[in-house]
Amino acid sequence: DGGITQSPKYLFRKEGQNVTLSCEQNLNHDAMYWYRQDPGQGLRLIYYSQIVNDFQKGDIAEGYSVSREKKESFPLTVTSAQKNPTAFYLCASTLAGGVTNEQFFGPGTRLTVL
């Protein structure tokens, strides 16, 4: 089955630690996205990548970093510089080559700072 997988489902971080969230897709999509979801707020874009080895900052990129070494993978690192990282993180993808394409989402990772 084609789709997007995220791991782990739950992640706990101690103060001062960096953690990496995994996102993998087998949809052959070119574009991938990371969003953060907080209670009572809409999804906010952290980073996106439209092609391998290229990515752009979204609205709330501070304290996060990404890489895009392979088409199917787009890991997100939450660094110690992110002061309030407790949230639900969602990865998404679309076919590139146009702006009319549907966005698909993974199941999410819930990050909690201890």
Partner 1 sequence: KQEVTQIPAALSVPEGENLVLNCSFTDSAIYNLQWFRQDPGKGLTSLLLIQSSQREQTSGRLNASLDKSSGRSTLYIAASQPGDSATYLCAVRTRGTGNQFYFGTGTSLTVIP
Which residues of the chain form contacts with partner 1 (CB under 8 A)? 4, 6, 33, 35, 40-45, 48, 56, 58, 88, 90, 92, 99-100, 102-108, 110
Measured from the CB atom, the residue of 36 and 85 that comes closer to partner 1 is 36
Helix (H) or strand (E) holding 111: strand 109-113
Residue (41 or 84) nearer to partner 1, CB: 41
Least Å from the CB of residue 16 to partner 1: 27
DSSP state of 107: -
* Least Cβ distance, residue 80 to partner 1 (angstroms): 26
| Residue-wise DSSP of 27-83 | S--SEEEEEEE-TTS--EEEEEEEETTEEEE-TT-TTEEE--SBTTB--EEE-TT-S
